[in-house]
Amino acid sequence: MEITDVKIRKLFEEGPMRAIASVTLDDQLAVHDIKVISAREKLFIVMPSRKNPDETFRDIVHPINAGFRAALEGAVLEAYRVALANAEAETEAEEPVTV
């Protein structure tokens, strides 16, 4: 299975959640609401989930093996880093220059 597209839908500046991403697989299946989380100075992804009646959460989609999970996490985190760099560049371009 090939990851054919990764889009960062939203960036967050505060709290542990840093972004929400969507991933397209084989140009045929989209997975939305993959979260980029920052905890203990490390970034990782959390798959989309739903809340159960007993207040626990259950993933509604997830990788089956460690190899694909690593590839998925790598692709999402790389897209996050690019989106973050682009957002920072836009912010710097908008700031007035004083001479």
Q: What is the pLDDT of residues 5-41, one digit of tens each?
A: 999 999 999 999 999 999 999 999 999 999 999 999 9
Question: 99 in a domain, yes or no?
Answer: no
Handedness of CA 20, 22, 1, 85 (dihedral sign): negative
Global pTM reads: 0.87
Structural domain count of the chain: 1
Q: What is the pLDDT of residues 81-93, one digit of tens each?
A: 999 999 988 887 7
Q: What is the pLDDT of residues 43-67, one digit of tens each?
A: 999 999 999 999 999 999 999 999 9
Question: 72 in a domain, yes or no?
Answer: yes
Is 36:14 a contact under the CB 8 Å cutoff? no
Q: What range does the domain containing 27 cover?
A: 3-94
CATH number of the domain that residue 74 is part of = 3.30.1120.40
Backbone angles phi, psi at 74, to 5 degrees: -60, -45
94 pLDDT band (50/70/90 cuts)? Answer: confident
